[in-house]
Amino acid sequence: MATAFPAISQDRIAATLKAMDLKYYQEDTGETRTAFPGLAVFFDVANEGFKASARWMATVRGADQVATFRTRCNEINRTMPLVRVHPVRRDDDTAVALIEAPFFSNDGFSDDQIREMLEYYFSAIHHIAQLLRDALPDVEETLPTNSTGTDSNQEA
């Protein structure tokens, strides 16, 4: 059965990032990645669509900060449509945030739809990162500090 639009692919995501004038990198495996100050973004593609995931590049330390962090993530999840913040506790009693959003369609996606979904997602992750920064002003972010990665037409 033919779909109304082409299926999503890592190459289509990369082409959309390029059209948005964003730097990106494609791994040898084909996985596409991009970054913003304080955020690293990657994409998982499946037959039915894709999931965008970002890691807020900060590590939350100490029981009090982790408790504040987990509470703030839960509050954000109650108010943000589509996007979910996952406070991931690590073995060393620190925590990090993963910010995910699924975009699924059995009918594929137009180029405009992909761009609009990515624009929404990028806006949401920046908003969420700022909410986390506001809640945890003493937490330091690490690299990436700006958009990284390249394709064959862009310099890092």
The answer to the question of residue 151 being in a domain is: no
Q: Structure tokens of 2?
A: 């033919």
pLDDT tens figures, 66-95? 999 999 999 999 999 899 999 999 999 899
Q: What's the confidence (pLDDT) of residue 78? A: 96
Q: What's the confidence (pLDDT) of residue 107? A: 86
The answer to the question of residue 145 being in a domain is: no
The answer to the question of residue 148 being in a domain is: no
Domain that holds residue 51: 10-135
Question: 149 phi and psi, to 5 degrees?
Answer: 90, 165
The answer to the question of residue 99 being in a domain is: yes
Indicate the pLDDT class of residue 153, thresholds 50, 70 and 90.
very low
The answer to the question of residue 81 being in a domain is: yes
The answer to the question of residue 141 being in a domain is: no
Q: What is the CATH number of the domain that holds 114?
A: 3.30.1460.10
pLDDT at 143 over 50: yes
111 Ramachandran zone, left/alpha/beta (phi>0; psi -120 to 50): alpha
Q: Following DSSP, what letter does each residue of the chain receive, concatenated?
A: ---SSPPP-HHHHHHHHHHTT---EE-TT--EEEEETTEEEEEEEETTEEEEEEEEEEEEESHHHHHHHHHHHHHHHHH-SS-EEEEEE-TTSEEEEEEEEEEE-TT---HHHHHHHHHHHHHHHHHHHHHHHHH-TTPPB-S--S-----TTS--
The answer to the question of residue 131 being in a domain is: yes
pLDDT tens figures, 15-64? 999 999 999 999 999 999 999 999 999 999 998 899 999 999 999 999 99
The answer to the question of residue 144 being in a domain is: no
pTM of the model as a whole: 0.87
Q: What's the confidence (pLDDT) of residue 156? A: 33
Give me the number of domains the chain comprises. Answer: 1
